[in-house]
C-alpha cells in the first residue's frame, strides 16, 4: 500500500491531500521509480534546509548533494549550495551553483538576486542586468531597486539612481535609511 498526492483547487487555493493507493481513484498508477526519487529528493531537501538553519553546513552540503544525485534539476539544492558557498566566501563555487540553478530556471529570482550581490562589486553592469531581471519578475522587489540604485549612483547615473531609490522606498519605506543622503 503506497501513497499518492492529489491536488484539489477550491476557491482559488490549492490544497494537497495524501491518500493511500487503495483510496486513490481506480485508474491511478503506482508511482514510478523516477517519481519516488523526486519525492525522496523533496524530503531530503527539507532535511538539508533544516540542517542549514541549524548551522550544520557540512551536513546540509552532503544532503543537498544527495538531492542532486536523485534530481539533478533541483534548482533549490543548487541555490542553497550557492548560498552556503557565498556565505563561506567561496565566490567561484557560489557563482557556479547559482548559474546551475538559473540554467534550470532562468527567472529564479532568489538566484538572480544573490548572483547580482555576488558580482555587484566586480561586475556592476552584470549585477545591474541581473537586478533588472529580478525587478521584471517582481516590480515591487524593494531591495533589488535599492541595490540597482546604488549601482546607478556609482556609475554617476544620478537620475536613474534617484528613480530606483524612489521605487525602493515606495515598495518598502523602512529602506529609507539605507538610501544615500543625497538621494533622500
pLDDT tens digit string along 142-172? 999 999 999 999 999 999 999 999 999 999 9
Q: Domain ranges for the chain, please list them.
A: 1-30, 32-105, 107-184
- φ, ψ of residue 90 to 5 degrees: the values are -90, 75
CATH number, domain 107-184: 1.25.40.10
In the block, which residue shows the cell 550581490?
117
> If pLDDT is split at 50, 70 and 90, which confidence band does 15 have?
very low
**pLDDT band of 32, cuts 50, 70, 90:** confident
Beta bridge partners of residue 9, listed in sequence order: 14
The chain-wide mean pLDDT, for the chain, equals 85
* Nearest CA-CA partner of 158 in 180, 130, 177: 180
Q: What is the pLDDT of residue 21?
A: 29
Hey, do 32-105 and 107-184 end up sharing a CATH topology, with the first three levels equal? Answer: yes
Residue 125: pLDDT over 90: yes
CA proximity to 111, closest of 47, 154, 119, 45: 119
In degrees, to the nearest 5, what angle opens at C-alpha 175 toward C-alphas 128 and 85?
55
Question: Is the pLDDT score of 13 beyond 60?
Answer: no
Residues 6 or more apart whose CB falls under 8 angstroms from that of 182 comprise none
Beta bridge partners, 7, equal 16
Of 100, 135, 93, 130, the residue nearest 115 (C-alpha)? 130
Q: Binning pLDDT at 50, 70 and 90, where does residue 174 land? A: very high
As a dihedral over the C-alpha atoms of residue 68, residue 74, residue 80, residue 81, rounded to 10 degrees, the angle is 40
CATH superfamily of 32-105: Tetratricopeptide repeat domain (1.25.40.10)
Amino acid at each position: 500500500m503506497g501513497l499518492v498526492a492529489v491536488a484539489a483547487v477550491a476557491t482559488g487555493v490549492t490544497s494537497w491531500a495524501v491518500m493511500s493507493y487503495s483510496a486513490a481513484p481506480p485508474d491511478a498508477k503506482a508511482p514510478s521509480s523516477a517519481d519516488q526519487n523526486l519525492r525522496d529528493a523533496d524530503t531530503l531537501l527539507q532535511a538539508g534546509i533544516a540542517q542549514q538553519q541549524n548551522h550544520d553546513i557540512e551536513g546540509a552540503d552532503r544532503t543537498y548533494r544527495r538531492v542532486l544525485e536523485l534530481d539533478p534539476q533541483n534548482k533549490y539544492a543548487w541555490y542553497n549550495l550557492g548560498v552556503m558557498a557565498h556565505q563561506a566566501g567561496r565566490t567561484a563555487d557560489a557563482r557556479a551553483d547559482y548559474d546551475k540553478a538559473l540554467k534550470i530556471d532562468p527567472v529564479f529570482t532568489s538566484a538572480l538576486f544573490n548572483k547580482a550581490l555576488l558580482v555587484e562589486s566586480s561586475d556592476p553592469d552584470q549585477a545591474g542586468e541581473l537586478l533588472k531581471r529580478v525587478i521584471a519578475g517582481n516590480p515591487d522587489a524593494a531591495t533589488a531597486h535599492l541595490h540597482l540604485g546604488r549601482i546607478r549612483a556609482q556609475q554617476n547615473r544620478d537620475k536613474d539612481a534617484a528613480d530606483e531609490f524612489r521605487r525602493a522606498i515606495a515598495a518598502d519605506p523602512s529602506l529609507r535609511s539605507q538610501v544615500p543622503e543625497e538621494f533622500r
